[in-house]
Amino acid sequence: MTWHRVAELDEVPAGQGKEILVAGRIVALFHVDEDWYALDGMCAHQGGPIARGVISGNCVTCPWHGWQYDLGSGCNLLSGKKMLDCFPVEQRHDGIWLELV
């Protein structure tokens, strides 16, 4: 388990997501209100870019075909099944850090 500094504190405005590459893995980083979330960066359906999806509350909707995921669990909202891995995220004094597990 390794922590990676992935963004500046002001790099991802609240209500938005950003696609990042961490140790060769595509990850979607989201800033919602005061919270941070990180999920697999590609939709389980057909590989759509999750970071470019629409955020509503604790949900992100894939921009390609509308699949919806809970940001905190990676569960698909329709099936309730976990479909995307989630990663711990911390806001520290020197930036946003993510742990790949």
Output the CA torsion sign for 26, 31, 15, 76. positive
**Global confidence as pTM:** 0.94
2-100 CATH fold: Rieske Iron-sulfur Protein (2.102.10)
The residue behind tokens 């790949």 is 100
Rounded Cα–Cα distance for residues 66 and 96 (Å): 28
Query: Which residues does residue 16 pair with via DSSP β-bridges, in sequence order?
Result: 31
pLDDT of residue 27: 98
CB 90 within 8 A of CB 38: no
> Domain map of the chain by residue range?
2-100
Residue 1 has pLDDT above 90, yes or no: no
Three-state DSSP class for residue 52? helix
Rounded Cα–Cα distance for residues 54 and 29 (Å): 13
CB 58 within 8 A of CB 32: yes
pLDDT tens, residue by residue, 30-78: 999 999 999 999 999 999 999 999 999 999 999 999 999 999 999 999 9
Mean pLDDT, rounded, of the chain:
96
What totals of helices (H) and strands (E) does the chain contain, helices first?
0, 9
